[in-house]
A = this chain, B = another copy of it.
Amino acid sequence: MKIDPNSSADLSAQIAQAIRDAIVNGDLIVDERLPSESELADHFNVSRPTVREALKRLAAQSLIRTQRGAAGGAFVNRLRFEDAYSQQITTSTLLLSMNAVSFETACEARYALERACAPLSAQRRTADHLATMRAEIVRQSQPGLTDEAFCASDVAFHRALVDGAGNPVLSYHLAGAVEAMQPLMNMITFTARSREAIVALHSRIADAIEAGDGAAASAGLTALEEETLKLGQTVFAERQRKERPAAN
């Protein structure tokens, strides 16, 4: 594990990268203890605060965890799906809000990805997933609900749909796509009539999932995408210019 003495980058960034590489390459394995901060400082010929800055960078990515005390130190962390979810959601949310991604583009991506889960979910969902979907539909039908609560319930419904596929890798990738749209959805005022339409489509999708009919579930998602798009266009009309040319 070496760093380039000619590099112009921060020492702490270089050290973090060296350790990160060692983890990704498998030179450091899960739960392995890194040398102490002092030892790392000696090894890289830097001071302890510099080493600490490097370790904090890695901790921010959940690549290591630290423990105080005699047998403490920094350990290679097993990156769990739950940890990755929250990072994924934060990153996805910021990507949308900072890059002037149009509502249409975000919507298209979200529903395309969800349709990829629908057939698997129709095949594999447990009774629990279905119950969650039904429960959220009931919640969404209550008249007193705020727009925020309606959106949160919408997310919960779709999460259950996605998780029904029983594939944690899919759930991980979808988490960002679904949750990152919530801030955008929160900007939409849902009339009683539009809520009714959405809830009806949710029921249609839940029915298809219950029946094990993946194609029908996909069709329901497509209809929901159109409905969502229609609602969004009235709100986000001014944004629809500059992001498609910058695609990729």
Interface residues of A (CB under 8 A from B): 12-13, 16, 20, 23-24, 26, 30, 49, 52-54, 56-61, 63, 78-81, 84, 87-88, 90-99, 101, 105-106, 108-110, 112-113, 115-117, 120, 163, 165-173, 176-177, 243-244, 246-248
Query: What separation, in Å, do the CA atoms of A239 and B110 have in the docked complex?
Result: 31
**How many copies of this protein are present in the complex?**
2
Query: What separation, in Å, do the CA atoms of A159 and B118 have in the docked complex?
Result: 23
User: In the complex, what's the smallest C-beta–C-beta distance from A68 to chain B, in angstroms?
Assistant: 10
Closest to A66 in B: B10
In contact, A167 and B95 (Cβ under 8 angstroms): no
Q: A-side binding surface: helix, strand, loop or mixed?
A: helix
- CB neighbours (8 Å) of A58 from chain B are 60
In contact, B163 and A248 (Cβ under 8 angstroms): yes
Most B Cβ at <10 Å: residue of A26, A98, A117: A98
Closest to A181 in B: B169
In contact, A176 and B177 (Cβ under 8 angstroms): no
Closest to A174 in B: B173
- CB neighbours (8 Å) of A80 from chain B are 99
- CB neighbours (8 Å) of A113 from chain B are 113, 116, 170, 173
In contact, A84 and B91 (Cβ under 8 angstroms): yes
- CB neighbours (8 Å) of A247 from chain B are 166-168, 171
- CB neighbours (8 Å) of A96 from chain B are 169
A173-B116 in contact given A24-B93, A57-B57, A94-B79 (Cβ < 8 Å): no
Query: What separation, in Å, do the CA atoms of A58 and B90 have in the docked complex?
Result: 12
Query: What separation, in Å, do the CA atoms of A166 and B97 have in the docked complex?
Result: 19
Query: What separation, in Å, do the CA atoms of A200 and B163 have in the docked complex?
Result: 34
Taking A56-B56, A57-B57, A109-B167 as given, write out 18 further A-B residue pairs in contact, using a Cβ cutoff of 8 Å, ordered by the A residue number: A53-B56, A56-B60, A60-B60, A61-B87, A61-B90, A61-B91, A79-B95, A88-B88, A95-B172, A96-B169, A101-B168, A101-B169, A110-B169, A112-B117, A112-B170, A113-B116, A166-B247, A173-B176
